[in-house]
């Protein structure tokens, strides 16, 4: 095992516990949950895996220096103390991203400017030369975060937000963020042991994320690059091994079914699914929810209905009333999970949720509710649930007397040197891709739509002389 160091994984509000579980499964240590972030420790291999394998992470930061400052001049002096040649060479480019939550600093761009000055002056004084600044697609992304007087310098190992998987060819209006979609599915506990249905699938994000979870395909498989691939200490052999390791992938014996009232949405979903190489596992149909008369068994339903921006209030409430009616009459035996944000919409469903989870969808404070659609009478359902509970209670306890709940035991207190991470408030913009002062160029390339096989881009994109294991996913 190599040198261990501190890392911070950023995520969306409400997904912190899910992300912590993912990191724990990858071998992370010292996990501590904050607001829209999880801090942890690990080595270079874990940093690569966190970027490549975590479905609910937006980006992975590596803090390199903590200090205190009350003004920009102090920031300048402290930044110059870092041995920057460990992270940046004269022929590389860099960009600064500043996030400020402090009354002592009024202008985040001025802090970024002084940070840039400190790095440039460090190299000029030591080497009589300096690296260049490049806002778009630099070799090194540097983040300075200030909360009150606590300052942290970090380098960003992800680059473009990790919700940009690389498979999306096109999108409908207001598509669901990929990280949020994956988190919603993981919250249900579903991992491919039944059919998966999204009757309002839009551009197919939930369906694609579900199929990738069922097959245990890493979410980073279609990305063109990660920022750490340009780092001074990048280990290409190590990342090739992680990238080409498909030993954790598994078979999916069921199917994902998606439908939408819009032919255009279905066409877009089909292109995205083809781009992801998952046509074999996902079936699409142009069909309104009210036309469902039967559902495949066993199954789970997860959907994100309209919230009211594009249809009238009267139609919106009628839509949710219809959803409740179809759930009761067609999806018996299902667990149905619905994301929405208006209480009056949930009331129109007419069912009592067994779980309610607060999530953020963009700027909207939403709720994610679970409805258990039992078969037979309610009395029979309750009797079966009581039997299940008795079986659970009869299981032997662990050494400390507690039964395993399925959730990782993780401390929720931050150490002082990690307080900066808990104050990260800018994640609301992460899913929109706003990271630096100018928009980054698109990094994703797609094959022609008539290509019937999906060959991953990375296997041939970097070094044509080196043979790497290619992955084909049959349509």
Is the separation of the CB atoms in 138 and 116 below 8 Å? no
- Flag whether the pTM goes above 0.85: no
183 confidence band (pLDDT: 50, 70, 90): very high
Length of the chain (residues)? 475
Residue 305 pLDDT = 94
Residue 109 pLDDT = 86
Report the distance separating Cα 367 and Cα 51, nearest Å: 28
Residue 101 pLDDT = 85
The first and second tokens of residue 324, run together, are 């409740």
Give the residue with greater pLDDT, 309 vs 239.
Answer: 239
State pLDDT tens for residues 124-137.
Answer: 999 999 999 998 88
Is the separation of the CB atoms in 302 and 237 below 8 Å? no
Residue with tokens 């200090």: 67
Report the distance separating Cα 267 and Cα 280, nearest Å: 16
Pairing of strands 140-147, 132-133: unpaired
Question: Among candidates 471, 439, 452, which has minimal Cα distance to 164?
Answer: 439
Domains of the chain are: 5-162+416-432 (3.30.2130.30), 178-220+251-373 (3.40.50.150)
Question: Among candidates 294, 258, 291, which has minimal Cα distance to 273?
Answer: 258
């Amino acid at each position: 095992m190599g040198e261990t160091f501190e890392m911070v994984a950023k995520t969306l509000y409400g997904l912190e516990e899910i992300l912590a579980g993912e990191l724990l499964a990858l071998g992370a240590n010292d996990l501590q949950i904050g607001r829209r972030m999880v801090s942890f420790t690990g080595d270079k291999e874990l940093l690569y895996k966190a970027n490549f394998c975590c479905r609910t992470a937006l980006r992975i930061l590596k803090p390199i220096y903590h200090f205190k400052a009350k003004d920009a001049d102090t920031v300048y002096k402290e930044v110059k103390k870092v041995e920057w040649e460990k992270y940046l060479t004269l022929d590389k480019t860099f960009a600064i991203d500043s996030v400020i939550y402090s009354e002592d600093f009024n202008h985040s761009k001025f802090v970024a400017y002084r940070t840039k000055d400190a790095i440039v002056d460090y190299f000029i004084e030591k080497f009589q030369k300096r690296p260049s600044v490049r806002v778009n697609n630099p070799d090194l992304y540097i983040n300075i975060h200030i909360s009150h007087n606590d300052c942290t310098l970090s380098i960003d190992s992800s680059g473009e937000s990790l919700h940009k998987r690389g498979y999306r060819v096109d999108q409908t209006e207001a598509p669901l963020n990929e990280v949020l979609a994956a988190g919603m599915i993981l919250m249900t506990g579903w991992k491919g042991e039944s059919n998966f249905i999204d009757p309002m699938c839009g551009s197919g994000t939930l369906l694609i994320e579900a199929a990738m979870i069922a097959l245990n395909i890493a979410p980073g498989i279609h990305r063109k690059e990660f920022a750490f691939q340009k780092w001074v200490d990048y280990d290409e052999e190590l990342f090739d091994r992680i990238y080409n390791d498909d030993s954790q992938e598994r078979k999916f014996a069921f199917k994902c079914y998606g439908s939408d009232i819009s032919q255009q949405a279905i066409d877009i979903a089909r292109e995205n699914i083809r781009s992801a190489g998952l046509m074999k596992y996902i079936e699409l149909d142009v069909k309104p929810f009210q036309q469902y008369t039967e559902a495949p068994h066993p199954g789970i339903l997860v959907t994100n209905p309209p919230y009211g921006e594009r249809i009238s209030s009267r139609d919106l409430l009628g839509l949710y009333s219809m959803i409740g009616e179809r759930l009761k009459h067609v999806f018996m035996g299902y667990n149905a999970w619905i994301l929405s944000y208006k209480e009056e919409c949930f009331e129109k469903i007419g069912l009592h949720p067994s779980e309610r989870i607060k999530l953020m969808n963009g700027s909207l404070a939403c709720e994610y509710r679970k409805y258990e659609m039992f078969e037979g009478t309610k009395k029979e359902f309750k009797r079966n649930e009581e039997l299940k509970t008795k079986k659970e209670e009869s299981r032997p306890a662990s050494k400390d007397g507690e039964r395993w709940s399925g959730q990782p035991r993780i401390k929720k207190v931050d150490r002082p040197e990690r307080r900066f991470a808990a104050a990260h408030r800018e994640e609301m913009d992460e899913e929109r891709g706003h990271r630096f002062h100018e928009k980054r160029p698109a990094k994703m390339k797609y094959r022609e739509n008539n290509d019937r096989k999906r060959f991953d881009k990375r296997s041939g994109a970097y070094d044509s002389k080196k043979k790497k294991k290619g992955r084909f996913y049959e349509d």
